[in-house]
Chains A and B, each alone.
Chain A
Amino acid sequence: MRGVLALYQSTIGKKVVMAVTGLMLVGFILGHMAGNLKIYQGAEKYDAYAAGLRELGKPLLGHYQAIWLARLGLLAAVGLHIWSALSLTSASRKARGTGYKKFDDVSMSYASRTMRWGGVILLAFIVYHLLHLTVGTVHREFEYGAVYQNVVLAFQRWPVSVVYIVANLALAMHLYHGIWSMTQTLSLTNNTILRVRRPLAAGIALVVLAGNISIPLSVMLGVISL
């Protein structure tokens, strides 16, 4: 633990924290997407899957216990990720000082240049998404436990679908640079990884994008309905 704190003092340590928490979030995103694809199996299976998540860990853990543990873990990961991002961003702003009159940033990728604002968009989306499909406060026809119905009715309103699609485009960009960046920060750079890290980052980003946006698209196209 002392080592972790000593490492966190340095800018590199804060990046390591971003990379490790980012990796946890990538794991969550993949699991979340895979789970949501069960919507294609119909209302019964999908609602049962959602109900099952709340009973995870039985009989060792009780109703909702496992899910709250996971939520705490995710909250900690997001919190540390953002805290480090803020601290590093403010240090970097100060480090440039007077900016350039002409600055040519074509050598950088669009994804790498938009990590900070992209992250802010994701945070805003996460807050909205939780209020929308978890808590239900911003969902007009929300019904606790009727997960399939909540999703379908939500995406039948096109502005809601657009918000989800845009947020997932932002997520795909963030993942594309983030996953690549993580191999660099955590020094996962043996020859094989060096060769596959670009396509791997692009692949994960695309899979997540395709899996997630397929759901609002399917609802709007009538492939999924009540």
Chain B
Amino acid sequence: MVSKPHGGRLVDRVARGRRRELLLDEAKELPRLEVGFDRAVDLEDIAHGVYSPLEGFMVQEDYLHVLYDMRLSTDHPWTIPIVLDADPEELGDVREGDDLALTHRGRVLAVMRVEEIYGWDKREYARMVYKTTDPKHPGVAKIYGMKELLVGGPIDLVDELPNPLERYTLWPAETRVLFRERGWRRIVGFQTRNVPHLGHEYVQKAALTFVDGLFINPLVGWKKPGDYRDEVILAAYEALVKHYYPRNVVVLAALRMNMRYAGPREAIHHAIVRKNFGCTHFIVGRDHAGVGDYYGPYEAWEIFQEFPDLGITPLFIREAFYCRKCGGMVNEKVCPHGDEHRVRISGTKLREMLRRGEKPPKTMMRPEVAEAVMSFDNPFVEA
């Protein structure tokens, strides 16, 4: 059966029709807070139920529970604080209980009921969530760059950000209906930010063997120079699915969501998000959402032991490689041969080859996938 939303309730804070008009009208009179792209993306994700049961940005009680207990104040597992930051001068005389219009590039995106304004300790946040206070950690650096106060309270979304990938975007309510229509009972979610190579395909297919459907859900929208462009990732996956997966076992949809590089905590977060999309299972990679060497290679697996009530089953599938002796894709668990027989697939190496216009060997990437990538003039995000 399609998984239950986290916390038992699929959140929908998207204002529609008459209610939307009323809110837009009200917003004209309200104090405004301009938010950056990251917070605007959070707004969309909250409103569309990606972060169910959250109905807005966290108030202090939830924030502290998440920081120290990895749970919401309702006791449901939650590992990443979802918070809105502001400077005192931006808030002016906004008080708790007031409504606030949240704008992005001057356009009203949402109306927020301000429940609480509170201070926070960024170093403590970094220490608890990232297990390091090192400003060289990209997640920590982002936190240190945030403003001095946090504003908590429920939101209503009145407008969406422009979405160049609209036709690839599905929200939880939609995938839940879709999975049911397809008759899937067990669905495995796959998180990615990359063009698929043979290792990814192996991991997905290993999982797919035991379930009805695979939900491939690339994170998009916030790339750094050198990353594959979003449309390249989607085109590459379309090629892979078309040529190497049976019909009707895959749903490919993009998700615009902030990447936080919080390693183990983020692995839990990614699982909860896919549970809201209706997944019953979730593939957790080695060093999932990690960066540098801040987290041990299996920490993202071990942390799942602390959550008997997560409501989605993690699948820990080992990294795959090609073994010449076995004559196929294998992993540590099933191949007895030495390193001299193994072809390790390196994402970095593949990127370099594709950048030079070189087609990677078939033991690393499907030719159709490579062709899809190379059909773009520049598949990479420019500096």
Chains A and B come from one and the same complex: no
